[in-house]
Structures are given as C-alpha cells and as structure tokens.
Structure 1
C-alpha cells in the first residue's frame, strides 16, 4: 500500500474507532477523496485495505459501506482480546511509568465524561483505556492490531444502542484494573480483566443475536 493510501486508511479507521462513522454508512468516493485530499485511485486502495480488515464491506447497489458486525464477529474479536490484553497485564516488566499514566488518564477521562452525562464520551474513553493497556507491551505490531480491533469494537457498541447501560459498570472496573497495575499486581489485573472481557462479550453477543435473530451479519 502507498503511503498516501495508508494515511487515508488510517484516517477512516480512526473515524470508525472514534464513532464518527456508524454501521451501514455509505462512503461515496468523490466526497471522501476530496475530504481526505487524495486521488480516487488512492482512496480505492485505502478502501480495499479496510474491506480486508472487515471494517468496511462492499454492498450490492450501494458501493462501500461501514460494516454491520454480527455475533460471530464479536466472538472472534474477543477471542483475540482475551489472548492479548490479559497477557499484557501479566508482563509487568514491560510496564513503564508513562504507559501506566496513559491508562490512568483514560480512567479519568471516562469518569469526567460520565459526570457530564456524555456517554459517547465514556465509550471513547473506554477505547482509550484498552488502547493504553495494549500499549504497555511496547510493541508497535500489537498497537497496530489493537487499532483494527478497536474500530470493530466501536461498531459493536453502536449496535448495542444507548451506551450508558453497557458502559457505566465498566468505568469502575477500568479504575480497579488501573489500580492493580499501578501496584504491580499484574496477575490480579489480568484475572479481573479476563472476567470483565468475558462479561462484555456475553452482553454484546446476546444483544446482537437478539437484533439479528441468528448468524453473522456484515452488511
């Protein structure tokens, strides 16, 4: 992929991860190429990359649209998260003071958003918390993989509807995990995070299955 296409793909991926693009949104090439400042050919290269990442899909008669994930997508993403995130928590030798500060900042961000009743902001802070957790590993490859997963996670959250009932309980879970990490209790943080992720997966699968009836859905 060219550098320009990579930048365009990253910009669109970030828009999905931050909630600016929602499930089913059509992405017309002319408008996008102008807003991103790239050629139509470069944009097509970027869109193809995001389709390969399962963030976008090609829909008959509609062109490229933001994916609408199904329950099987949730299960697969959480399979990866359960392998990666608790493992990063356990490896306390890799945790830096700056990295832990970023995790704590995401907790503070979430609490401030909740106090303002900004629940989309709480959802965004939760994304930042998990990005910060994975960043503790100090691995650019893991960071890049987490960016893909977080974009899909935002689409899962969108399918849940109102964000407050889902995100409110995890505010203090995030704080508890941050406390354990700051105390050097990586194994305890990992165990708590594993339970947390399994609970979130169950909620998402149950809600999306109810919406879809059954089976995966990508468009």
Structure 2
C-alpha cells in the first residue's frame, strides 16, 4: 500500500489544510509582434501600390524602405517574400526587388473575377445597406479629384467605389479577396501612360450606377455593372497591348 507523505499526515492531524500545489508556469505567448509588424508593413506597401505611389516595374530600394518604415532589413526581406508570393513583387537575382508587371492573361483573369464578385454582390444587395454611403463618399471624392485634375486620386476613388460594391455582399472573405484584386488591378492601371484617359469616363458612370443602387434597382444596376466592366476590360487590354511586350511578368 502507498501512504501519503508525512507532511500531509501531520497537517491533517493538526486540522490544517495542505497548501495547494503551485501550478506550473504558463507557457510563453508566441511572439506575435514580429508577425504583426510584417503584416502592417506589407499592407503599407499594398496601399502604396493602390494609390499609384509604387508603379509596375519600379525597383524598390531595400535600404530606403527599411529607413522609411523604421524596420530592419531582415524584416523587410520577409515582407518582400510575402508580397512576392502574392504576385505583387518580383525578385530578380543580382538586381533586386521590383513591383510586378501584370500580363495580359492576369488582367483578363482579374476582370473575370471582378464580374463574378461585383455583379452578384450588387444583384443581392438590400436597400438600406451601409455600403451605399461608402459608394456615395467615393463618388464625391472622385468629383473633387476630377475638379483638381488629380487623376491618380480619381483612380483611388474608383477603387473605393468598387470595394464598397463588394461590401454589399456582407462577406469578410470576399472583402479580403477583393482588396488583393484591387492591388493587382492598380498595377494594370499603372501601365497606362494617361490616367485621365483611363479614369475620366468612369466618374460619371459610377454616378449613374450609384443612382440605380440608391433607387433600389439592383438587378438593373448589376446588368449595367457587367457592361461597365466589359467596357473597362476592353479599354485596359487595348492600351496595354499597344504599350507592353507580350508576356508581362509571366514570361
């Protein structure tokens, strides 16, 4: 028979309660700070692409960016690897890291996905969805930028408008997916030398689309959006084909 320790017997006989055993120390929490920093820097670079601050084919200086973001070069290299896997950057051996240049095939695929996501999100929207306010704000921003001759700003407002359309679907997964698609789309837009030619027609087209949505004509708006995206794709592909060698980053 196995007896309890003598100390326990002595405490029991004296009416005292044995002290509770000291629990083992909790395992250290994972070092999430570095990952959070990586995510934050990666998002900053994505936003610079969306805003047209980083252009397709542009070389990214490791030293300058590390200083700008106040991070180590090792951290920046990890961010570069993440964005390279996403197809937003391209590493050229012995030359450095460059902003990716999309191919015609990737542009076609982007627009295919846009039609699948945006048109369906609009078709199933409900009248009082808060995303309509975001769409109105994006249209007003585009009008202000057009008045100021800020065509890159018009392009950014257009991105916000289409992001708000996707928000009509109430899906965080779709929002995240589409945010990435918009970064790739801005790369395609960045290849075009005349942003006014690209963006000017869509300010008024976005206004008309918003009018349909605010009137609750979602099916009609979805059909109009499909035609809109087909038109946009043709314009982008036509200009791209004249200005870029075949293949882009996929060559």
Do both share a fold (TM > 0.5)? yes
Give how far 1:129 is off.
0.8
Residue 7 of structure 2 corresponds to none
Residue 76 of structure 1 corresponds to 109
SS of alignment partner, residue 217 of structure 1: helix
Cα distance change, pair 66–216 in 1 and its aligned pair in 2 (3 A): closer
Residue 154 of structure 2 corresponds to 122
Select the structure of larger CA radius of gyration.
2
Give how far 1:120 is off.
1.5
- Structure 1 residues not aligned, in runs of 5+: none
In the TM superposition, what whole-angstrom CA distance separates every residue of 1:124-171 from its partner, at most 9, and x where no partner exists?
A: 111111111112222222121122111111111111111111211111
Structure 1 contact 73–216 (Cα < 8 Å) conserved: no
Q: Partners in 1 of 2:108 and 2:188 — Cα distance? A: 11
* C-alpha RMSD over aligned residues: 1.8
Q: TM-score, normalised by structure 1?
A: 0.92
Residue 142 of structure 1 corresponds to 174
* Matched residue count: 218
SS of alignment partner, residue 40 of structure 2: helix
Structure 2 contact 51–153 (Cα < 8 Å) conserved: no
Residue 205 of structure 1 corresponds to 237
- Structure 2 residues not aligned, in runs of 5+: 1-33
In the TM superposition, what whole-angstrom CA distance separates every residue of 1:81-136 from its partner, at most 9, and x where no partner exists?
A: 0110001101113x644310110111111112112222122111111111111122
1:102 counterpart (134, 139, 148): 134
Residue 43 of structure 1 corresponds to 76
Higher alpha-carbon deviation: 36-45 or 113-122: 36-45
Residue 16 of structure 2 corresponds to none
Residue 17 of structure 1 corresponds to 50
Q: Partners in 1 of 2:128 and 2:53 — Cα distance? A: 31
Q: Partners in 2 of 1:97 and 1:86 — Cα distance? A: 16
Hey, which of these two has a bigger chunk of helix by percent?
1
Give how far 1:200 is off.
0.7
2:83 paired with 1:57: no
Q: TM-score, normalised by structure 2?
A: 0.81
SS of alignment partner, residue 90 of structure 2: strand
Q: Partners in 1 of 2:177 and 2:108 — Cα distance? A: 16
Q: Which has the higher contact order (CA 8 A, sep 6+)?
A: 1
Residue 193 of structure 1 corresponds to 225
Give how far 1:179 is off.
1.1
